[in-house]
Structure 1
Amino acid sequence: MPSQANYQKVEMLREKIKGAQAVFVCEYRGLTVEKITKLRAQIRGAGGEMTVAKNTLMSIALKEEGFPVPEGLMSGPNGFTAVHGDPAAVAKVLKDFAKEKGNEALIIKGGILGDKILDVKQLLALADLPSREVLLAQVVGTMAAPIRGLVTVLSGPARGLVTCLSQIKDQKEKAA
């Protein structure tokens, strides 16, 4: 029979992942407390929260919150990162931290994005995406390009008329 403490831990985990857009799974074995603290601070800055929990308790919390459970990732000492902001930004933080010299002990295993289970390659591809703001700026730029072209075409005759009138004025000034 599960203890009351486990029920409380599952409830705490549910609160942390409630409303999350993604949950990433990493193995942290071999990282010092100082490095994990630094990683957690970087993740918080990107809109996520890293929690170390037992795999069985996190599996229960994920099921209860409607997330698929990535059974293949639920082994070993795992850190679970709940993302409440931009998933690409948090994935980038994890990827960059794991690349730094001395942080090779952080092993990115995969995660959950919405209702899809991501493997390592997919999560790293997500990390390579530009941030949400950059993508929105690209969309707005793409939408504005035809309008900008139309304005240029429509202003052409007026610009030509002004240039022609300016040349006529210059010729009349020379003749006078």
Structure 2
Amino acid sequence: MPAKIKYEQVALLKEKLERSEAVFVGEYRGMTVAQSTALRVKVREAGGELKIAKNTLFAIAMKEAGLESLSESLVTGPNIYALCYGDPVGVAKVLKEYATDKTQKAFVLKGGLLGKVALDQSQVYALADLPSKDVLVAQVVRTIAAPISGLVTVLSGTMRGLVTCLGQIRDKKEAA
């Protein structure tokens, strides 16, 4: 019979998974405490949380949370799970930067789950290359506002031309 602590761990993981937007999986074999602490701090600043859990307990928690189970290749070995509570792009960027850093060879980003869609390593890297949500919103607003500002420029140009023309007529009449 499983220990009570395992039930508590599964319940805690399930609650965290229900709040998360995405889950990324990485293998941390050979990481030092200082490296894992630095990675935890960076992920926390990006709006996520790193959890180390037994793969079987994490799989049970995912099933109970109603999420798709991760592929067998993702859940083998000592894994660290990054749970994203905000914009998943920021956390993906942090994990990609850390995984591709030449000074460390211990952390390997394997893949993840975005919503209910499973991602492999290349898809997580592609997600990390996207601009953040705030930048995308700013680009959309700028795209929507561009025609309006162009219309204002055109309309003000016509009025400016009319004022200039009337000013020239006034000057000619004063000179005559």
For Structure 1 versus Structure 2, the TM-score category normalised by the shorter chain is: over 0.9
Deviation at 1:162, TM superposition (A): 1.7
Structure 1, unaligned stretches of length 5 or more?
Answer: none
Post-superposition Cα deviations, 1:55-88, rounded to whole Å, max 9, x if no partner, equal 0000000111111111221100000011001000
Deviation at 1:159, TM superposition (A): 1.0
Q: List per-residue Cα deviations over 1:99-132 (Å, max 9, x = no partner).
A: 2232221100000000100001110000000000
Asked if 1:96 corresponds to 2:97, the answer is yes
- Aligned twin of 1:67: 67
Aligned to 2:39: 39
TM-score, structure 1 normalization: 0.93
State the superposition RMSD in angstroms: 1.5
Q: Which amino acid aligns with 2:107?
A: L
Aligned residue for 2:3?
A: 3
2:12 is matched with which residue?
12
Amino acid paired to 1:161? L
Q: Percent identity?
A: 57
In structure 2, stretches of 5+ residues that fail to align are: none
Residue 169 of structure 1 deviates from its aligned partner by: 4.7
Give the structure 2 partner of residue 111 of structure 1: 112
After superposing the two structures, state which structure 1 stretch, 160-169 or 32-41, moved more: 160-169
Which residue of structure 2 lines up, in the alignment, with residue 78 of structure 1? 79
1:172: how far off? Answer: 5.7
Question: Structure 1 counterpart of 2:65, which letter?
Answer: E
Equivalent position SS for 1:95: helix
Corresponding residue of 2:148: 147
Give every structure 1 segment of 4 or more consecutive aligned residues whose post-TM-superposition deviation is greater than 3 Å.
166-173
Shift of residue 5 of structure 1?
1.6
> How many residues are treated as equivalent by the alignment?
175
Q: Which amino acid aligns with 1:147?
A: I
